[in-house]
Chains A and B, each alone.
Chain A
Amino acid sequence: DGGITQSPKYLFRKEGQNVTLSCEQNLNHDAMYWYRQDPGQGLRLIYYSQIVNDFQKGDIAEGYSVSREKKESFPLTVTSAQKNPTAFYLCAVNDGDNNYGYTFGSGTRLTVV
C-alpha cells in the first residue's frame, strides 16, 4: 500500500454522527477514488476526482460527501444521512492513463455502534 495512506484503520460511529475518513497520497497522481465494500462483496464507487477542486458522484454517493482541495488529499465524510454506513472503505489513486491501474490504500473499517 505504499504511497497511499488511509486513516484511521478502524472507526466507530454513533447514530446521527458525521465522520471523516482520510486518504493521502504521495504518488503525485491526479485521479482519486472512494469505494465501499460490504462483507464478501465487490467494490461500489462512491465518489471520484480527476483533478483538484473537481469531483463526481459514483454509483452510491447518497449520504456521502468529499472535497479535493489539495492534490494529495481526498477525504470522505460519511454523513448521518447514510443509513447503513457499516462497511470497509477503500481509497485508490491512478495516474490518469491506466498505465499502472489503481493503487489502493489499506482501507478503513467503519462500524456504527
Chain B
Amino acid sequence: AQSVAQPEDQVNVAEGNPLTVKCTYSVSGNPYLFWYVQYPNRGLQFLLKYITGDNLVKGSYGFEAEFNKSQTSFHLKKPSALVSDSALYFCAVGRRSDKLIFGTGTRLQVFP
C-alpha cells in the first residue's frame, strides 16, 4: 500500500534563512511525487513534481525538492525564505495511474 508522511505539523523559520519541509513515502514501483501549496481559503496549487530524471527538481517560487530513493524522501527546500511563503504545504505520492495519496500537511510560518 502507498503512504506518505509529513512528520512536522509546523515549521518555523526566519525570513532569509533556508527552509526544509520534510516528506517521506512508501510505494511499490516508481513513485510519482508532488508538492502543493495552499493559501487560506484557496485550493491547492502545484509547486513541483518528480517522475523521472534528475533527483533535484526545481519548481515555482524558488522552491526545489530532492528525490532520495534510498531514504524514500522528497523534502521541499528553499535557500532563502520569504514571509509570503507562509502557507500550508502538502506532499503527495502515487504511481502512474493510481490516485494520489496526500500527506497531512505542514504549516510553514516565516517570521520577519
Contacts and interface: CB of A to CB of B under 8 A. Distances in A.
Contacts of B49: 100-101
A51 to B, nearest CB: 12
B88 to A, nearest CB: 8
A102 B100 contact: yes
A79 B88 CA distance: 29
Contact of A42 (B51, B96, B100, B103): B103
- Interface residue range, chain A: 20 to 34
A1 B92 contact: no
Given A42-B103, A103-B46, A98 B41 contact: no
B83 to A, nearest CB: 20
B51 A99 contact: yes
B70 interface: no
B104 A107 contact: no
Contact of A106 (B42, B100, B105): B42
**Top 7 closest pairs, chain A to chain B, by CB:** A104-B43, A42-B104, A104-B44, A101-B34, A98-B32, A42-B105, A106-B43
Interface of B: 32, 34, 36, 41-46, 49, 51, 90, 92, 94-100, 102-105, 107
Interface of A: 1, 6, 31, 33, 40-43, 45, 48, 88, 90, 92, 94, 96-107, 109
